[in-house]
């Protein structure tokens, strides 16, 4: 890769960023398409975020991804938030345009795309969905499912007050997990439970319907306890790499106006994640 003054620079802003698989993924797509661009990870501490976002345009970035804990700041700093970013108050993708910064949230559509790829036919089957978690990922998944036409969405979170801030959902206490599993056609796990270094979670998978589809937003490890128990029951299971892959593909299209090679991206992520 040769970097010049004409190279389009794309950055990942967050804290931390050293663990991210995004640089390997996007740079593989850039190389495969022969684009004059480069993707780099930049750590920005939360205390420096406001000043950093105010000055980013001066550094000549073409676009950016934004991860925790800066997604809300990124949405607020943009002059033109897209519908998902405006509705969620969070952006994970930025594009510098004439006259200002456009902000997008590709997590929501990425979750839907991952389901389309990993569980074809899920839309017709899903009348009722359960989303576990009401953080940034949970709210994005909920919004994406609503846009995809899911009629009823139930949300479980350890703090119901936080879940209640999400509009047009039915909120349940954590203690109602088993009953919620038994009534859902689709179950999406968006908390950090099962992530490397985190507790595995005690999932009542035995209560799930035999026809239920499950998806985990966690991708490290690739085979989470949530997915392992679901597959043990023979349920259709979609891993976290799908959401990561498809939200990244949507961002790539925003920056470069081209659709990247999804199969190549999956291979890169599996290799990087050790899957």
Catalytic residue set: 71
Which DSSP helix (H) or strand (E) runs through 102? strand 100-104
Q: How many residues does the structure list for the chain?
A: 275
Residue partners of 136: CB distance under 8 A and separation at least 6:
68, 71, 88, 90, 107
Is the bond leading into 13 cis (omega within 30 degrees of zero)?
A: no
Residue partners of 12: CB distance under 8 A and separation at least 6:
20, 22, 23, 39, 40, 41, 42, 64, 65, 66, 67
Q: Residue 76's closest CA among 91, 92, 64?
A: 91
Q: Is 25 helix (H, G, I), strand (E, B) or coil?
A: helix
35: alpha, beta or left, given left = phi > 0 and alpha = psi -120 to 50?
A: beta
Total Cβ atoms within 10 A of residue 170: 13
Give, in order, the Cα–Cα distances in Å from 114 to each of 62, 177, 273.
27, 24, 17
Total Cβ atoms within 10 A of residue 99: 8
The DSSP call for residue 274 is T
Total Cβ atoms within 10 A of residue 36: 12
Q: Is 42 helix (H, G, I), strand (E, B) or coil?
A: strand
Q: Residue 137's closest CA among 262, 247, 47?
A: 247
């Amino acid at each position: 890769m040769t970097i010049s003054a004409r190279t389009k620079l794309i950055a990942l802003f967050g804290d931390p960023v050293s663990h991210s698989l995004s640089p390997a993924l996007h740079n593989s797509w850039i190389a495969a398409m022969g684009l004059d661009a480069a993707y780099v990870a930049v750590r920005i501490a939360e205390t420096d975020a406001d000043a950093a976002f105010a000055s980013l345009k001066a550094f000549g970035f073409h676009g950016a991804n934004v991860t925790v804990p800066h997604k809300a700041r990124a949405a607020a700093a943009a002059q033109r938030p897209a519908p998902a970013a405006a509705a969620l108050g969070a952006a994970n993708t930025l594009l510098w345009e004439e006259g200002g910064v456009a902000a997008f949230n590709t997590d929501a559509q990425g979750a839907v795309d991952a389901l389309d790829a990993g569980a074809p036919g899920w839309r017709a089957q899903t009348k009722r969905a359960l989303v576990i978690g009401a953080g940034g990922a949970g709210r994005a998944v909920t919004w994406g499912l609503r846009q995809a036409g899911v009629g009823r969405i139930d949300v479980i979170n350890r703090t119901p007050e936080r879940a209640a801030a999400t509009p047009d959902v039915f909120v349940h206490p954590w203690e109602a997990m088993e009953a919620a599993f038994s009534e859902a056609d689709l179950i999406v796990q968006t908390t950090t439970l099962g992530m490397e270094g985190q507790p595995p979670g005690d999932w009542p998978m035995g209560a799930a319907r035999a026809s239920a589809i499950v998806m985990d937003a966690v991708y490290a490890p690739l085979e989470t306890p949530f997915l392992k128990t679901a597959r043990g029951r023979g349920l259709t299971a979609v891993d976290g790499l799908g959401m990561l892959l498809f939200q990244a593909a949507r961002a790539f299209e925003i920056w470069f106006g081209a659709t990247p090679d999804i199969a190549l991206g999956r291979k890169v992520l599996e290799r990087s994640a050790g899957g």
